Amino acid sequence: MIKVVMKRFDKRRKLQPKRKYLVIPISVTQMMKRKRGDIYKFLKNRIVMLADNMKKLLGTRIYGPSIKEVRKIPVERSIIQKIVSYACYTI
């Protein structure tokens, strides 16, 4: 998990300026190598933002695949299940 501060924002959205949010990366552009020897690399960095109490996702649309390592992140089980179910598939 990563902590992020919003600099630019849209007034119509739930996000507020200069507030800290927790973020879970779903795909990263850096090459990832697994123990089996598989190598993965995505074209874009994609994230999912969490509310302050880490019990709610800020958004319900996840386009494209997500990485398998998302399941190992120490967050509530229900949030991980939502991320996996919203994504098209898991790589």
For the segment 6-40, what is each residue's pLDDT rounded down to a tens digit?
A: 777 777 777 778 888 889 999 999 999 999 999 99
Write out the DSSP string of 15-37: --TT-EEEEEEEE-SS-EE-TTS
The CATH H-level (homologous superfamily) assignment of domain 2-86 is Ribosomal protein L14/L23 (2.40.150.20)
Instruction: Tell me if 18 sits within 8 A of 5, measured CB to CB.
Output: yes
Give the start-to-end residue ranges of the domains of the chain. 2-86
Rg (CA), the chain: 14
pTM of the model as a whole: 0.80
Q: Which of 38, 31, 28 is nearest to 70 (CA)?
A: 28
For the segment 35-56, what is each residue's pLDDT rounded down to a tens digit?
A: 999 999 999 999 999 887 778 8
